[in-house]
Amino acid sequence: MIRIGEAEIRRVEELQVRRPVAGLQAPPALVAANIGWLAPDFIDPADDSFALVFQTWVLRTAGLTVVVDPCTGNGRNLPVLPFFHQLDTPFLERFEATGVRPDQVDVVFCTHLHCDHCGWNTQMRDGRWVPTFPNARYLFVRREVERWDPARAGHNAVDYNVGVFEASVAPIIDAGLADLVENRHVVSPQLTIEPAWGHTNGHSALHLVSGGEALWFTGDVFHHPLEILDTSVHLDGGDDPAQAALTRNRLLGAIADEEAIMLPAHFPAPHGGRVVRKGEAFGFIPLGS
């Protein structure tokens, strides 16, 4: 558990996959200069791989229970990504082990609408996708919904996200549980949705302030600490890599200046950390260091 002021954050893991460090397109000299602290948590030197952890955050603050990025979901038809295709994990059992039942969730927030960030919005029952969190308001940034709605003229489909809107977003809208919010949105006195565009056109972050402390749920702005050290480093698969790099730099400055914790969507243990300025660049201090 992570505590920020009076807020508590717990983690629910769906699965992990390993990816080659080469996929980050990081300069070899940058990797070599930092391997001393990146290994073994963030790089396995044995095979030059790193872990992507697919996980959901459960936040309790000031009487609200908030789910951030509800992973991929079971039974999804995602053949382009075999590690997600037709999953069958005990995610809901792990979720309830946090002490929260799905019907106790007040708010669901997806940083963006890629398959691994909105899947458990719904679950299959009696042959149809129905809301997993039936008493929650689902906060979707309007710009992100418009990016992925296949009914919109000029929709730019990507193979790894085909069918996701229909299974994980449209049923929530049809059930009357969705609130389409603008680029900046105050959820509560403690929580604000902030733009973090690039990885997708409407990607957003969630900013928490409680008891004089702060935390940012940064979604897929960062997949690996190397992107903190050099904001041009990135995984393929985003909408606008140049904008994503600008967003990384801007958020790193805000997080460092606020002395906040950052919780990216996919970091392995210890899952998050603090950002420090190093001249015009930034460094990363993992939680517990």
Q: Can you say how many angstroms the Cα of residue 285 is from the centroid of all Cα atoms in its chain?
A: 19
Dist CA 110 CA 14 (whole Å): 16
- Find the angle CA(123)-CA(262)-CA(117) to the nearest 5 degrees: 20
Contact between 172 and 121 (Cβ < 8 Å)? yes
Dist CA 223 CA 230 (whole Å): 12
Residue 54: per-residue pLDDT:
98
Per-residue pLDDT of the chain (289 residues; tens, 9 = 90+): 999 999 999 999 999 999 999 999 999 999 999 999 999 999 999 999 999 999 999 999 999 999 999 999 999 999 999 999 999 999 999 999 999 999 999 999 999 999 999 999 999 999 999 999 999 999 999 999 999 999 998 899 999 999 999 999 999 999 999 999 999 999 999 999 999 999 999 999 999 999 999 999 999 999 999 999 999 999 988 999 999 999 999 999 999 999 999 999 999 999 999 999 999 999 999 999 8
On the question of a cis peptide bond just before residue 264, with omega within 30 degrees of 0, the verdict is no
Q: Tokens at residue 8, please?
A: 């508590």
For the chain, the 3-state helix, strand and coil shares in percent, each to the nearest 5, are 25, 35, 40
Dist CA 200 CA 214 (whole Å): 25
State the pTM of this model. Answer: 0.97
Residue 249: per-residue pLDDT:
98
DSSP type of residue 184: S
Dist CA 172 CA 87 (whole Å): 21
The CATH number given to whatever domain includes residue 87 is: 3.60.15.10
Nearest to 224 by CA among 4, 34, 3: 34
Residue 204: per-residue pLDDT:
98
Residue 1: per-residue pLDDT:
94
Contact between 49 and 83 (Cβ < 8 Å)? no
CA distances, 209 to each of 41, 205, 215 (Å): 28, 13, 7
- Count other C-beta atoms under 10 Å from residue 120's C-beta: 25
Contact between 101 and 136 (Cβ < 8 Å)? no
Residue 260: per-residue pLDDT:
98
Domain count of the fold of the chain: 1
Residue 256: per-residue pLDDT:
98
Residue 154: per-residue pLDDT:
85
Residues spanned by the domain of 125: 2-286
Residue 75 is which amino acid? G
Dist CA 164 CA 169 (whole Å): 7
End-to-end Cα distance, the chain: 16
Dist CA 58 CA 105 (whole Å): 9
Residue 235: per-residue pLDDT:
92
Residue 289: per-residue pLDDT:
81
